[in-house]
Amino acid sequence: MPINYINFEQAKEQSGLRMVVVPGIPSPWSEAAKGFFHVKNITWSAVRLDQRDKDMAVWTGTRSGPVVMFDKQAPQSHWQQILMLAETLGPTPELLPNEATARAKALALCEDICGESGLGWSGRLDGVHSGLNDQGGFPKPIAQYLGAKYGYDAGLAQSNSDRLVALLHKLAVCLKDQKKSGSRFYVGDTLSAVDIYSATFMAYFNPLEQSVCPMDSHMRAAFESNTAEVTEALDPILLAHRDFIYEGFLELPLSL
Ligand SMILES: N[C@@H](CCC(=O)N[C@@H](CS)C(=O)NCC(=O)O)C(=O)O
């Protein structure tokens, strides 16, 4: 079902579950949170992130998305807080295993994808670096904005790129190992948060086609632009897994 956006003053007055999301692009953290609520069949009200709106920033405590508000609880903007809240609000299906070793593995993979030196952050900084150096990536004004906001450092661009390639490789190896034991999922043989994060974060490297993921052409070009190193590291198994997760578990077309 397409998202029904409400304005933020209205959302503030409401109780229940509300989420501020990045509109118009398949922003990986926002799309993953939407995915959690979808698979758990939890209803929520959507608010478009407006980075310039001071009142919204006061309400959410940040100028990034997603931010989840539940009743009068404090806003949750970190990926792990949002995942844990989703697990509490919708106990089935569980998106993290209960068994300690499998749970630790799942959480470590989530951190590899969503954390501050993870796939998403490194991918974004790689796009910033390319944009600032006229080598594709984000359009320059967006690259400047994202670079200042998310800690771009030209001197660290190469190590950032190396980490990005290593993470893509690690995820592909994990899926290949799982395939050998007969599973199409990252952990065990059922869907977990790792699968949803991996599928949604692939948008930074290879967004779904325009018919199911409608984006402005400049942003699409930016999301589709990869360095040669990333293109090489983007193993087909990562995109096959993305398609499997979207087709089997998430909502298509994306509602942005
Ligand atoms: N708070 C998140 C990360 C949020 C984040 O990076 N959001 C980006 C997603 S593209 C965003 O809001 N971008 C738009 C902007 O910064 O204006 C976490 O670390 O768990």
Residue 171: which of 236, 228, 97 has the closest Cα? 236
Show Cβ contacts of residue 33 under 8 Å, excluding neighbours closer than 6 positions.
19, 21, 66, 68, 82, 86
How many residues would you count in the chain?
256
Compute the average pLDDT of residues 130-158.
97
Count H helices, E strands: the chain? Answer: 12, 3
For residue 132, pLDDT over 90 is answered with: yes
For ligand 1, atom 17: residue with the closest CA: 64
Average pLDDT of 155-175?
Answer: 98
Closest CA to 206 of 235, 174, 169, 186: 235
User: How far is 124 from 201, CA to CA, in rounded Å?
Assistant: 11
Q: Which of 19, 22, 80, 142 to mutate to test the pocket of ligand 1 (most atoms within 8 A of CB)?
A: 22
- Bridge partners of 18, per DSSP, are 45, 69
Instruction: State the average pLDDT for the chain.
Output: 97
Question: How many other C-beta atoms can be found within 10 angstroms of the C-beta atom of residue 116?
Answer: 10
Ligand 1 contact via 149 beta carbon (within 6 Å): yes
Centroid of ligand 1 to alpha carbon of 193 (angstroms): 18
Instruction: Give the pLDDT of residue 96.
Output: 98
Q: Report whether pLDDT(1) > 80.
A: no
Q: Is the pLDDT of residue 182 over 90?
A: yes
Mean pLDDT of 91-110: 97
Decide if 126 contacts 159 (C-beta within 8 A): no
Pseudo-torsion of CA 32, 251, 65, 158, nearest 10°? 50
Per-residue pLDDT, 243: 98
* AA identity, residue 110: C
pLDDT tens digit sequence for 11-44 = 999 999 999 999 999 999 999 999 999 999 999 9
Measured distance CA(5)–CA(191) in Å, rounded: 28
Task: Name the residue with the closest Cα to ligand 1, atom 11.
Answer: 64
Distance (Å) from CA 120 to ligand 1 centroid: 9
For domain 8-89, the CATH architecture is 3-Layer(aba) Sandwich (3.40)
d(CA 180, CA 230): 25
Residue 129 confidence class, pLDDT cut points 50, 70, 90 = very high
- Phi, psi at 46, each rounded to 5°: -100, 140
* Residue among 184, 200, 33, 174 nearest 106 (CA): 174
Region for 134 from its dihedrals, namely left if φ exceeds 0, alpha if ψ lies in -120 to 50, beta otherwise:
left
Mind listing the pLDDT tens digit for each residue in 191-244?
A: 999 999 999 999 999 999 999 999 999 999 999 999 999 999 999 999 999 999
Q: Is the dihedral of CA 145, 196, 79, 69 positive or negative?
A: positive
Ligand 1 midpoint to CA 183 (Å)? 31
pLDDT of res. 152 = 97
Residue 142 in this model has a pLDDT that exceeds 90: yes
